[in-house]
Amino acid sequence: MLPTTARRRTPHTHDPADRHDRDDPRAGAASGPGRPSGRLPAGRRRSRRERRAGSAGRHLHAGRITYAVLTVFTLGSLFPLVWTAVAASRTNQRLAETPPPFWFGGNLFANLRTAWVDANMGKALLNTVFVAGTIALSTVLFATLAGYAFAKLRFRAKNALLLTVIGTMMVPPQLSVVPLFMAVAELEWTNQLQAVVLPMLVSAFGVFFMRQYLVNALPTELIEAARVDGAHSLRVVWHVVFPVARPAMAVLGMLTFVLAWNEFFWPIIALTQDNPTVQVALTGLGRGYIPDESVIMAGALLGTLPLLLAFTLFGKQIVGGVMQGAVKG
């Protein structure tokens, strides 16, 4: 492994081993078994020439145009967020002038305070941390249990049940709002957080995600060994499955937290401005609750900042999670 890594830095040499630079660091162990060595000489002779011509897609270093295009799209992705902060630091009057402001003004903290107090963003943030945290925890727990069962245990109708899980992803949220609303009205749960937490405690995506991870990551022998030692199934879960599943659990937790934080349709029906989540409070702002554009932007900034912070800290893991869920999805 070590020599390959060293050579990877100079992939365009004539070193016979340079074909091993196919071990893209990102692909890691997943890139499959090595090639039968019998085919090496013939292939190498030709591929050397081709490689020098630079034609095998993935090995190439990016050119200037690639960097330029990626930079443009990166700026496009970040600009609206930066501008949210710019607008939040200005006054409503300044936002009603042309040209629009491009740099920060001095009104940021005043606007944040107005949003925090008058638009109820403070309470909304606390509520959302609780709601999204609870949903993420329970989704991860139940998804790991079910994913483990689908990945490693034998039981009747397993495949049909797994297909059912996948099928449930097709059911859109719009199909449950009317009965849920009727139930909430009946129970007098309007404005109470359990109304938005309870319907989201499990996720089919989560079950599938954990199943796909555990199928490869968890050695069946490990479970069997534990069982031979007389461990009952909960012990196996606690001492064998959870430790192995931990990285995937963390990623699923973050993904679920992001989704739950941004959940929109059901919360704006079940909650009001008296006890809002972030999205409910922002909807209130958007519908003219406070007719001040700079305060609206301050609210949007407050509601996005925690997730942006999480992205700065765990961006790599979240990206890995999205990609991991994708290959297998």
Partner 1 sequence: MTSSTTDAATARRAPSSAPAPGAHPERAGRRARRRHRWDAKWSPYAFIAPFFLFFAAFGLFPLLYTGWASLHKVSLHDPGHMEWVGLENFSRLLEDDFFWNALRNTFTIGVLSTVPQLVMALGLAHLLHYRLRGSTFFRVALLTPYATSVAAATLVFAMLFGRDYGMINWGLELVGFDHVDWENGTWTSQLAVSAIVIWRWTGYNALIYLAAMQAVPDDLYESAALDGASRRQQFWHVTVPALRPTILFTVVVSTIGATQLFGEPLLFGGSQTGGGSHQYQTLGLYLYEQGWFNFQLGRASAIAWAMFLILIVIGLVNWLISRRLHTRR
- Compute the least distance from the CB of residue 189 to partner 1, in Å: 13
Burial (0-12, 13-18, 19+ Cβ within 10 Å), 36: exposed
What mask of x and - would describe binding to partner 1 in positions 116 to 155, judged by CB under 8 A?
A: --------------------------xx-xx-xxx--xxx
- Compute the least distance from the CB of residue 7 to partner 1, in Å: 14
Establish if 46 lies at the interface with partner 1 (CB under 8 A): yes
The pair phi, psi for residue 91, each rounded to 5°, is -110, 165
Establish if 207 lies at the interface with partner 1 (CB under 8 A): yes
Establish if 84 lies at the interface with partner 1 (CB under 8 A): yes
Establish if 251 lies at the interface with partner 1 (CB under 8 A): no
Establish if 232 lies at the interface with partner 1 (CB under 8 A): yes
Write out the two tokens for 146. 């079910």
Rounded CA-CA distance 292/298 in Å is 10
Among 161, 163, 187, 225, binds partner 1 (CB under 8 A): 161
Establish if 253 lies at the interface with partner 1 (CB under 8 A): no
Establish if 329 lies at the interface with partner 1 (CB under 8 A): yes
Rounded CA-CA distance 32/29 in Å is 7
Establish if 205 lies at the interface with partner 1 (CB under 8 A): no
Establish if 175 lies at the interface with partner 1 (CB under 8 A): yes
For partner 1, give the closer residue by CB, 61 or 106. Answer: 61
Cβ-Cβ contacts under 8 Å for 232 (sequence gap 6 or more): none
Establish if 98 lies at the interface with partner 1 (CB under 8 A): yes
Among 17, 117, 178, 225, binds partner 1 (CB under 8 A): 178
3-class secondary structure for 22-50? HCCCCCHHHHCCCCCHHHHHHHHHHHHHH
Establish if 92 lies at the interface with partner 1 (CB under 8 A): no
Among 76, 103, 106, 159, binds partner 1 (CB under 8 A): 76
For partner 1, give the closer residue by CB, 2 or 46. Answer: 46
Burial (0-12, 13-18, 19+ Cβ within 10 Å), 170: exposed
Among 4, 5, 10, 66, binds partner 1 (CB under 8 A): 66
> What is the phi-psi region of residue 275: left when phi exceeds 0, alpha when psi lies from -120 to 50, beta otherwise?
beta
Residue closest to 26 by CA, chosen among 255, 325, 323: 323
- Compute the least distance from the CB of residue 247 to partner 1, in Å: 16
CA count, 13 A, side-chain hemisphere, 95: 20
